[in-house]
Amino acid sequence: DPSVQLFLSADPDDYLDKASTLDQLSGQQVEALKKIQDKQRELAQERAEATEKLKDLASTRTELGNKKQEVQGKLAEAQKLLNTLTAKEKAALAAEQQRANRSSTDRVDLGNDSSASGRAAAAFSAAQSRIGSPYVYGATGPSSFDCSGLTSWAYAQAGVSIPRTSQAQAGYGAHLSQSQLQVGDLVFFYGDLHHVGLYAGNGQVLHAPHTGAVVRYESINNMPFQFGVRV
d(CA 66, CA 69): 5
Give CA–CA dist 205/198, Å, rounded.
6
- What is the spatial distance between Cα 231 and Cα 227, in angstroms, rounded to a whole number? 13
Cβ partners under 8 Å of residue 159, min gap 6: 119, 122
Phi, psi of 198 (to 5 degrees): -115, 130
Residue of 147, 175, 194, 210 with catalytic role: 147
Q: What's the rounded Cα separation, in Å, for the pair 36 and 34?
A: 5
Identify the helix (H) or strand (E) that includes residue 126: helix 118-128
* 210 annotated active-site: no
Neighbours of 171 (CB within 10 A): 10
CA atoms of 69 and 200, how far apart (whole Å): 31
How far apart CA 209 and CA 71 sit, in angstroms, is 13
Helix (H) or strand (E) holding 12: helix 12-83
Q: Answer yes or no: 175 catalytic.
A: no
Query: Do 105 and 173 touch, CB atoms closer than 8 A?
Result: no
Integer Cα distance of 215 and 148 in angstroms: 12
Instruction: Single out the catalytic residue among 175, 194, 207, 210.
Output: 207
Active-site residue set: 147, 195, 207
